[in-house]
Copies of this chain bind each other. A is one copy, B any other.
């Protein structure tokens, strides 16, 4: 199973591709899609959409996994992130790839065994689980790998438990 994890944002969208085979995980790709500040939002979203489609074409994932974000009070930033997330979901839908949402607590629990782990712990565990030579960077790419790991480890269990 191949999972494309995404940490969406208008300026920077993290991505990470994780494969699971025989219970072992491996990272195939990770990075950040940056869109140019100072250009119209519509054009930035076109650039993001093109990049996500290219990732879907290149890796043919079985699923796209995203964090289900819960913004406390900042509706403006929820709105901006929502725009980027809509474009990511659209690209997945157009490619016929299933999307799955996980809360930050689920992601941390899946990677670190605790929903309260901090960023550094998540980075170290992602590095260990994927046998990476160093902790993944930047943060957006690390977060995307973490949510991909969460789905890769959760989906087989969910399938086994399904009635």
Interface residues of chain A, those whose CB is within 8 Å of chain B, are 40-43, 45-46, 49, 69-76, 78-87, 89-90, 92-94, 98-99
| Residues of B contacting A80 in the complex (Cβ-Cβ under 8 angstroms) | 82
CA distance A83 to B84 in the complex (A): 7
CA distance A72 to B75 in the complex (A): 7
User: How far apart are A87's CB and chain B's nearest CB, in angstroms?
Assistant: 5
User: How far apart are A56's CB and chain B's nearest CB, in angstroms?
Assistant: 12
| Residues of B contacting A83 in the complex (Cβ-Cβ under 8 angstroms) | 82-83, 85-86, 89
| Residues of B contacting A78 in the complex (Cβ-Cβ under 8 angstroms) | 75-76, 78-79, 82
30 A-B pairs with C-beta separation under 8 A: A40-B98, A41-B99, A42-B90, A42-B92, A42-B93, A45-B89, A46-B90, A70-B75, A70-B76, A71-B79, A72-B75, A73-B73, A74-B75, A75-B78, A76-B78, A78-B78, A78-B79, A79-B79, A79-B82, A79-B85, A82-B82, A82-B83, A82-B85, A83-B83, A83-B85, A83-B86, A85-B86, A86-B87, A86-B90, A87-B87
Contact A45 B90 (CB under 8 A): yes
User: How far apart are A28's CB and chain B's nearest CB, in angstroms?
Assistant: 22
Residue of B nearest to A45 (CB): B90
Contact B81 A41 (CB under 8 A): no
Contact A40 B82 (CB under 8 A): no
User: How far apart are A160's CB and chain B's nearest CB, in angstroms?
Assistant: 22
Residue of B nearest to A90 (CB): B45
CA distance A40 to B100 in the complex (A): 10
